[in-house]
Structure 1
Amino acid sequence: MTQDAGRKLLELPIVEGEPVRLGSQWQNRPNQHGVYFWQRTGRHIWYESSLEASCLVVLDQGGEVDRILAQPFRVLFRRASKVVRHDPDFFAVLGNGDQVVYDVKPARRMTEAVRDQFEETARVCEMAGWRHVVLHEPDRILAANLAFLRNARHSRAHPDPVMSEQIGNVFSGGRTLGEGREMVNRRFPALAMPFIKHLIWHRRLSVDPTERLDFDTVATTVPQPEENRCCA
């Protein structure tokens, strides 16, 4: 189906569709494909590079993106454009209703041709009422921290109400992760870490995002309404 760029596109359930293409994977290919589980929708989001996977992790933890689709559509350019077409990497609907088109590109590969392509994409997105965002490599410390936390992001690591209240009380005035985990579970401190990491991922515990996470990291409870569950 072909649609002219315009505000009517805002009404289409694009994010509920299927990727317009899926790349081929073969042995020893530099870009490794995979899928990332998006818990808010229960769907697996396809990616075709480690950078795309890293950007999905950042978007997931940020909490703004509600629904997301990889390779959502193909943009065909007009007006004597230098480029003919482009397949954006992701299309997302945020929690506030905004619709965003994401392109992922290593900073070192932002050539003039790529910039022209993205400028044309941004022009089309503006006509449709979408935002266009180009994502590069995440900050190294942020990426390392999210890699450390991501295994605990799922609902299986969500603490029950009693444990959640206990962790909230322990970190209410600010406390290191090492000390806090021992206060939560004095007999087996390691068993408290998945719950603590889960609450950091979902921003129920606040840490300094510019510092590498370790047991000396200070975490502080972020007050939340009782009905505001951190994960689905």
Structure 2
Amino acid sequence: MKSKNLAGGADPYRNLVNASAGAVIAWNDATGAVRSSIADKRLLRQGIETARMVRRPAKYKHRRNYEGYYWCAGSGERIWYESMTEYSALMELDHTLRLAKVVAQPFCILFGDGTRHYPDYFALHESGRQFVYDVRPEALVDERAKIQFANTREVCEQIGWGYQVLHGLTGVPRHNLEWLAGYRHPYIDPGPKIRTKILDEASESLPLARLAAALDSTQPVRYLPGIYHLLWRGDLTYDPSRPLGWHSIIERNTGG
């Protein structure tokens, strides 16, 4: 898809030449200034998580993809997405990982062979690990994309970044996570006392209906928001391959 710089132009780095025998990373820093560096471990200390978006897709009539902003519970910030596949991928990352910062369209990789690639996301995990993510439906990963992703992985390994290609969620897992995502905001956190009460009751596997009734037999729905919040956080577990409902088996996550 033809894309443009936020300030206009078909390719924000079209005039940037890679004079290196290897790969070069080019990005816009927090001030908007264009910066570039050889792809090596020095980039781990460049604060790429504060980079500005370098481009967005051109808008045109009747396009099929939907773009927007996803509010990330981990970073507490809105993150731009280009498609619903990217939306579901962001939601999955936010659910399964502890994210400190996420940047969309963070930089351009200028490969040594003259080709280039704009990864979809750069994330700083709470652990301090830095990760690069590309998002594409599995059915659309052709041979050209496989080569591009393989080259990107090699560059990330040289730098010390993790790398993963995400395909987005579909079907029941996506429906379940979209429901739980409605309870991801910190203000829904039940607090230490009630959190402990819920986790204690869920120390043994039991259906959601029984868990809710055990917490309050006269008004079982009272603690549902807190239960859903803990399911979102991963403190409680369930089978995401089956529709989430009263029958779903809930259990305390003891996996750490």
Shorter-chain TM band:
0.7 to 0.9
* Contact 1:25-1:33 at 8 Å conserved across structures: no
- Name the residue aligned to 2:16: none
Rounded Cα–Cα distance in structure 2 between residues aligned with 1:19 and 1:172:
44
Q: Secondary structure at the match of 1:74?
A: strand
Structure 2 residue 160 is the aligned partner of structure 1 residue 160: no
Shift of 1:139: 5.6
Question: Are 1:75 and 2:106 counterparts?
Answer: no
Describe the shift of the 1:72–1:170 C-alpha distance in structure 2 as closer, same or farther (beyond 3 A).
Answer: same
Out of 55, 59, 63, which is 1:21 matched to?
55
Query: What code does the residue aligned with 2:64 have?
Result: P
| 1:142 matched residue in structure 2 | 173
Check if 1:46 corresponds to 2:80.
yes
The answer to whether the Cα contact below 8 Å between 2:212 and 2:221 also exists between their aligned partners in 1 is yes
> Deviations along 1:10-44, whole A, 9 cap, x unmatched?
11111122111123445642111111112332211
**5+ long unaligned stretches in structure 1:** 226-232
Which of 174, 185, 201 is the aligned partner of 2:216?
A: 185
Number of aligned residue pairs: give it.
Answer: 222
1:159 maps to a residue whose letter is: P
Classify the secondary structure of the residue corresponding to 1:96. Answer: coil
1:2 partnered with 2:2: no
Q: Give the strand-richer structure, 1 or 2.
A: 2
The whole-number CA distance in structure 2 between the counterparts of 1:125 and 1:10 is: 10
- Mean CA deviation greater in 47-56 or 120-129: 120-129
Could you give the per-residue CA deviations for residues 61-113 of structure 1, whole angstroms, max 9, x where no partner exists?
102433211111011112x35xx211100011223322211110111111111
Aligned to 2:13: none
**1:132 deviation in Å?**
1.9
Q: 1:204 offset after TM fit, Å?
A: 1.4
Partner of 1:37: 71
TM-score computed with the length of structure 1 as normaliser: 0.87
Counterpart-to-counterpart distance in 2, 1:28 and 1:185: 51
Amino acid at match of 2:250: A
SS at match of 2:57: coil
Give the alignment's Cα RMSD to 1 decimal: 2.1
Q: Which amino acid aligns with 2:36?
A: T
Is this contact kept in 1: 2:88–2:169, CA < 8 A? yes
Question: Residue in 2 aligned with 1:215?
Answer: 246
Partner of 2:45: 11
1:115 to 2:146 alignment? yes
CA positional deviation for 1:133: 1.0
- Contact 2:75 2:99 survives alignment (8 Å): no
> TM-score normalized by structure 2?
0.79
Q: Distance in 2 between matches of 1:164 and 1:176?
A: 18
Unpaired segments ≥5 residues, structure 2:
1-34
Identity %: 32
